[in-house]
Structure 1
Amino acid sequence: MSKFAKVKLKNCATFINGMAFKPIDWDVKGLPIVRIQNLTGTNKNFNYYSKEYNPKFEINNGDLLISWSASLGIFIWNNDKAILNQHIFKVVFYKIEINKKYFYFCILDVLEEMSEKTHGSVMRHITKGDFDNIEIPLPSLKKQERIVGILDELIQSALQKAFNPLKDNTKKNYQLPQG
């Protein structure tokens, strides 16, 4: 049981759902359209969009993305400017003081809870209401940063132990999953 106050996700940030594209909107040039399969690695091929769009759908390097339909997950966009497809939230922080990486770890921790709240038979998804009401612990910003530091050290240590026999031990090969 956490000794920290809890906060609902809806009070942490704004979650902007991506744009609904149809195949007729796709192009061979323009900005890449980021779909769930591009984030999960099941398909690295992008479709592109070359028309005008609302800037709220734009994503940039370092943005946090949460897939809430079909495949639940949290991702750090590690690429150039792109446009977000539907069924993925872009996380926009401005409501409270929260460390982005701490939030990332919290979402990883509640993915199972999210999964238990999914609906649908063909394309399982979590409703916005259920998503918004999931709670995460909210320690002070200083404690969040300390928690992130500890988790980063544990992850790096585990990766070094797991991959120590490999000749190519470059740090870039062992970073957190990114889209």
Structure 2
Amino acid sequence: MSDVKKTPKLRFKGFTDDWEQRKLSDIADVYDGTHQTPNYKNAGIMFLSVENIKTLKSEKYISEQDFKNNFKISPEKGDVLMTRIGDVGTANVVESNEPIAFYVSLALLKTRSIDSYFLCSSIESPYLQSNIRKRTLITAIPQKINKDEIGKVDINVPDKREQVSIGTLFKTLNKAITLQQRKLAKLNKLKKALLQKIFADKNNPQPLLRLKGFGGDWKQRKLGDLLTLINGRAYSQDELLEAGKYKVLRVGNFYTNDTWFYSNLELDDKYYANNGDLLYTWSATFGPHIWQGGKVIYHYHIWKIILSEGLQKLFTVQLLNKDKSEILANKNGSTMVHVTKRGMEQKSVLIPSSDEQKFIGSLLTKVDKAITLQQRKIDKLQSLKKSLLQNIFVN
């Protein structure tokens, strides 16, 4: 017998008892969804699969007869649905007694002696994720956990009052995250609409949305006549140092790669980027950026953009972002986009007056900043949730 106390690192005041290790089958009955591919309808009984687990909402429906024929059981309010095929181990609590049909990729956990929200959040904890992983057939394509194996997963459980406190905390936190995500979605929708309406195009030389005081057609120009693209320097592997005078800015450093290489080379001024310079990554992940990370040497897969007097910087960033959206929308299934220097220089664009450029650039930059701030709010909430999942459950 082990004398190790089963208590979490972080706990609500007033709770001191040990948690008890149980099997999921001790606290919930586990059911599969249908193996049948249903005939979808425009209305009827809502049909859920893996892609619906976050919202438990779907635009797919089946008939009541199909439901009666293929479903022996339906989730009820307070039950938990969990993905068991593909993205294994994501869960959500059913909050309605409306009949729901669900595919075999989901498992239904009909709770008996456990708080639903505690169970749902516990499934997301590192301890349960690890236990689910141990029973998952990771060599299967797609990977899956069999229904009977779900019931064998170990779970640590406190008394009911502590379950409710923890479940309520995560219910509140998840709702806050969802609310902030909805706000972000609205901002992104606003940005998309503005990009569509605030720019002129070849079919409409005047934009659909315009500030009072601006008029007339936008002028068609080639980008190559308005800006100069300067390639960065190509490096051999032995030229990239672990320490040195200058950071070497590569494409990945704009996105997910925090690893830096360095160089002691002294180069022409054109090969350095400084704060406020307009750069463009053109290989793999592509798009414009205003650099704010201090003096660096930028890599060959990055252009520094020198603008003529006819282009405003903030407007150009938005113009290039709009162009990026159009490229992605028309890539026809290609997995990688490669933007060429000649192709960029030969692009025909429509350009308004300098004053209208300033207005458009300023407006869309404010929207971008709002989007960034909103994403940071979500990131902080997600970080808080991750910390709680690691510390408020027994591992």
Question: TM-score per shorter chain, which class?
Answer: 0.7 to 0.9
CA distance in 2, matches of 1:117, 1:11: 25
For 2:314, the equivalent position in structure 1 comes to 101
Determine the structure 1 residue equivalent to 2:324.
Answer: 111
TM value normalised by structure 1: 0.78
Alignment root-mean-square deviation, CA = 3.0
CA pair 131-30 structure 1, distance change in 2 beyond 3 A: same
**CA distance in structure 2 between the partners assigned to 1:128 and 1:166 by the alignment:** 35
Cα distance in 2 for residues equivalent to 1:88 and 1:67: 5
Deviation at 1:13, TM superposition (A): 1.0
SS of residue in 2 equivalent to 1:43: coil
User: Take 1:61 and 1:142, find their aligned partners in 2: how far apart are those partners?
Assistant: 24
CA–CA distance in 2 between the matches of 1:162 and 1:26? 33
Native 8 Å contact 1:117 1:126 kept in 2:
no
| One-letter amino acid of the counterpart of residue 223, structure 2 | L
Aligned counterparts of 1:21 and 1:165: Cα–Cα separation in 2:
37
- Secondary structure in 1 matching 2:342: helix
- The residue aligned with 1:17 is 231
Residue by residue over 1:56-90, the C-alpha shift from the partner in whole angstroms, topping out at 9 and shown as x without a partner, is 11100011111111111111111110001011100
> Could you tell me which of 245, 266, 269 is aligned with 1:30?
245
Matched, 1:90 2:329: no
Q: Which runs of 5+ in 1 are unaligned?
A: 169-179
* Cα separation, 1, equivalents of 2:335 and 2:316: 29
Unaligned runs of 5+ in 2: 1-203, 207-217, 382-395
**Pair 1:66-2:280 in alignment:** yes
Amino acid at match of 2:205: S
1:55–1:157 distance in 2 versus 1, CA, 3 Å: closer
Q: Is the 8 A contact 2:314 2:365 kept in 1?
A: no
How many residues align? The count is 164
Q: Deviations over 1:26-70 (max 9, x none)?
A: 121110000000012x21111001022222111000111111111
Q: Is the 8 A contact 1:34 1:83 kept in 2?
A: yes
Is 1:142 paired with 2:355?
yes
Q: Which of structures 1 and 2 has the bigger CA Rg?
A: 2
- The residue type paired with residue 359 of structure 2 is R
- Does the C-alpha gap of structure 1 residues 165 and 117 become closer, same or farther in structure 2, counting only changes over 3 Å? closer
The TM-score with structure 2 as length reference comes to 0.37
- Counterpart of 1:177 in structure 2 is none
Choose between structure 1 and 2 for higher RCO, CA contacts under 8 A separated by at least 6 residues. Answer: 1
Give 3-state SS (helix, strand or coil) of 1:75's partner. strand
Aligned counterparts of 2:336 and 2:377: Cα–Cα separation in 1: 40
